[in-house]
Chains A and B, each alone.
Chain A
Amino acid sequence: MTVSAGWYLTLSAVLFTIGAVGLLVRRNVLVMFMCVELMLNAANLAFVTFARQLDDIGGQSAVFFVLVVAAAEVVVGLGIIVAIFRRRAGATADDLNLLKG
C-alpha cells in the first residue's frame, strides 16, 4: 500500500491548523508555546513532502534550519516565561493584562 503525497500535505495542513487555532484559543502560555512548535513541524512535514515530490534535496535540508531556529526560539521563549511567571502559581496568558487600551 502506498500513501500518496496528498495525504502528507493534508496531515501537514491539519497539524498547522491545529497549531494556529490552539495558539489563538488556549490560555496557558506553555500550551501556546507547544502550538507554535506544532506549526513549525507542520511546515517541516510540508517541506519534506514537497522535496520528495520534486526529487530535490533543498526542501529536506530546510528542515534542519527550521529545527535550529525552533530550538533558539524555545530557549528565548522559556526564558521569558520563567522571568514572568516565577512568582505565580500558573502560567495563564490572562494574567498579562497590564497593557491594553
Chain B
Amino acid sequence: MIAAVTATAAATAGVVSAVRTQLPPLRLPSVEYSAILPELILMGAALALLLGSSLTRRRPGPGLFTAVTVAAALASMGAAWKLWADVVPAHGGQAAAAAHHPYTAMSGALAVDGFSVFFMVLLTSALVLSALLGDAWLRREGIQGPEYHVLALFCVSGAMLMAAANDLLVLFLALEILSIPLYVLAGFDSRRRQSREAAMKYFVLGAFSSALLLYGIALVYGGTGSTSLPQIATYLAQQVITSNGVLLAGLALLMAGLGFKVAAVPFHAWTPDVYQGAPSPVTGFMAAAAKAGGFAGLLRVFFSTFAILRLDWQPLVWVLAVLTLLVGSVLAVVQTDIKRMLAYSSISHAGFVLIGLQAGTVKGIAGALFYLLAYTFMVLGSFGIVTLVGRRGDTHHSLDDYRGLAGRRPGLALAFAVFLMAQTGVPFTTGFLAKFYVISAAVASRSYALAVIGMLSAVIAAFFYLRVIVLMYSPATGEDEAPRAALPRIPLPATVAVTLVVALAVTVVFGLVPAPMITFARKATLLF
C-alpha cells in the first residue's frame, strides 16, 4: 500500500518534472517605453499631481497645478514630435523610407504611425489650451485642488491611446480612459444643478454607447476570430465570407458606439444638454478632445481595417453624414443659448469629418484629419470667449449677453468674430480649407450629392454664426438709459489671453499659409 503510494508520488513527481522541463521559458512581451512616452508623461504627471497635492500639508495655489499640466503637455508633445521623426520619412527616397517606418509596440497592441502621432500633437495642443482656460475658470469660481487638471490629463492620455489602438480591446479600454474622467469633468461645477445633470446624462448615454461598442467588438471577434486590427484585416482579405451577418452587425454596433462619442446624428441626443450644462472650459475641451478621440478610432477601424468591406459601410456613413450635417445646422438656427448653439454646430462639424470618411480615400482621410486639427483651435478659442462672457457663476450664455460686446470689449468681439467666421468657412481661415478639402475629396470619389448637402449645410450654418457676429456689433439694448460703465466688466486673465492668441494665430496663419498643416495631415494618413 505504502509502496504503491510512494510509487504514485514518484510517478507524479516524474510527470511534474517532465512537464517542467517541457514548458518553454516564460516569455514576457517586450514593452517599448519610447513608443508610449507621450502617454506615460501625461499619466505620470496626473499621478504626481494627485499624490503631491495629497501629501503636502499646505495646498499650493492653482497656478502650480496648471504649470505642471502645461509643462507635461508640452513635454508630451515634444516626445510625440520625436516619434514623428521616427515613423515619417522626412524626404522621399528608399533609404529614408527604410529607416523611418510605422511600427507596432506592445506585441502589436499599439500602432506607432503618422496617424497616432498626428493625434498626439492635436490632443496635447488641446490640453495646453484647455488647461489655461480651466485655470482662469477655476480661479474665477474659487475651486481649489488639482482634480480638474488630473482628470483632463487622464482624459487626453486615453484619447491618445485610442488613436494608437491597434486592437479592438485596446480601443475599448482607451475609450473608457477617455470617457470616465470626462463624465466627472462635465459635473465638475457641482454647485450648479445644470452641471450635475449634464454629468448624469453624459454618463448614462456614454455607458450605453460603450456597451454598444463592446458588443460590436464581441461580434466582430466572433466573425473574424481576432480583436487585433491587422489580423482582422488579413482574415478579411484571405477569406471569402458568404454569410457575414454577425460581422456586419458587429460593424454597425461599432459605428453606433463611436458615433455616440463623436455626436453623429442619430446618436447626438446627449450633446446639446451636456454641452450646455458642463462648465464652459470643459465643453471646449470635450468638443476638441473627445471628438478627436472618437474620430481617431472611427477613422482607423473603418478606413484601414474594414477597408475591404467598404461597400457595406460607406452607405451607412453616407446616411450618418447627411443626417448629422442637416440636423446639426438646422437645429442650431433656433437656439437662444450660445453653448447649445455651439453644440449643434459641433454636430454639424462632425458631419463634415464624416464626409471625409465616407470618401474612403487617402484624400478624404487627410481632409478629415485637417478638419479635426483646425476645429480643435477654432472651438477652444470660441469656448474661451464663452467662458469669459459667462462671467462668475458661468451662467450668462444667452445670445443677448453678446449684444454690444464689441462696444465693451472690442478685442474679444473681434476674436470671437474670427472664430465664428472660421467655423462658417470664410476664406483665409483654416475653417475654409478644412471644408474645402473634405468636400473636394467627396467630389473626387463621386459623392456629388454628399458634397452638395455639405455645402448647403455650411450655408445654413453661416446664418447662425453671422447672427452672433451681428449681435456683437449692434449697440447694446437700452444703451441710452444705462451708461456703458454700468454693464458688468468682463475681465481678461492672461492665461485666457494666451489661449485666444494661440488659437487665433493657428486659425489665421495656417489659413493664409496652409502648406505645413496640409503636409502634416497628409503624412498622418500613413497608417500601420
Contacts and interface: CB of A to CB of B under 8 A. Distances in A.
Interface of A: 9, 12, 16, 19-20, 23, 29, 32-33, 36, 39-40, 42-43, 46-47, 49-50, 53-54, 56, 58-59, 62, 65-66, 69, 72-73, 76-77, 79-81, 83-84, 93, 96, 98-101
Given A23-B208, A84-B196, A101 B337 contact: yes
Given A40-B214, A50-B221, A98 B194 contact: yes
B95 to A, nearest CB: 38
Given A66-B214, A73-B176, A83-B187, A54 B225 contact: yes
Contacts of A19: 211
Contacts, number: 121
Contacts of A43: 211, 214-215, 217-218
B200 A29 contact: yes
A67 to B, nearest CB: 12
Contacts of A77: 183, 203, 207
A4 B125 CA distance: 52
B340 interface: yes
Contacts of A29: 200, 204
Interface stretch (B52-60, B272-280, B286-294): B272-280
A3 B180 CA distance: 38
A26 B197 CA distance: 17
B330 interface: no
Chain B interface residue number, banded = 35 or more
B215 to A, nearest CB: 5
Contacts of A101: 272, 335-337, 340
11 contacts: A9-B222, A23-B208, A39-B214, A43-B218, A46-B222, A49-B222, A54-B222, A62-B169, A73-B207, A98-B277, A100-B273
Interface string B188-231: 00100110111111011001101110110111011001110000
Contacts of B136: none
B173 interface: yes
B196 A69 contact: no
A89 B45 CA distance: 40
Given A47-B221, A83-B196, A39 B337 contact: no
A96 B340 contact: no
Contacts of A79: 184
B208 A98 contact: no
B199 A80 contact: yes
Nearest to A24: B208
Given A62-B227, A66-B214, A80-B187, A36 B208 contact: yes
Given A23-B204, A58-B227, A84-B197, 12 more contacts: A33-B204, A40-B210, A46-B222, A47-B218, A66-B214, A72-B176, A73-B180, A73-B207, A96-B200, A98-B197, A99-B276, A99-B277
B65 interface: no
Contacts of B222: 9, 46, 49-50, 53-54
Given A98-B193, A101-B337, A36 B207 contact: yes
Contact of A83 (B169, B190, B277): B190
B285 interface: no
Contacts of B219: 46
B94 to A, nearest CB: 37
Contact of A96 (B176, B184, B197, B215): B197
Interface in B329-369: 335-337, 340
A40 B184 contact: no
A50 B250 CA distance: 13
Given A19-B211, A99-B277, A101-B340, A84 B227 contact: no
B172 interface: yes
Contacts of B337: 101
Contacts of A50: 218, 221-222
6 closest A-B pairs by beta carbon, nearest first, are A39-B211, A50-B222, A46-B218, A99-B273, A43-B214, A36-B207
Contacts of B180: 72-73, 76
A80 B203 contact: yes
A80 B219 CA distance: 31
Contacts of A81: 200
B471 to A, nearest CB: 19
Given A65-B172, A73-B176, A73-B180, A58 B221 contact: yes
A101 B173 CA distance: 33
A39 B207 CA distance: 10
A81 B215 CA distance: 25
Nearest to B201: A96
Given A50-B218, A101-B335, A40 B211 contact: yes
A81 B199 CA distance: 9
Contact of B226 (A12, A58, A66, A80): A58
Nearest to B278: A99
A50 B198 CA distance: 37
Contacts of B200: 29, 80-81, 84, 93, 96
A16 B197 CA distance: 26
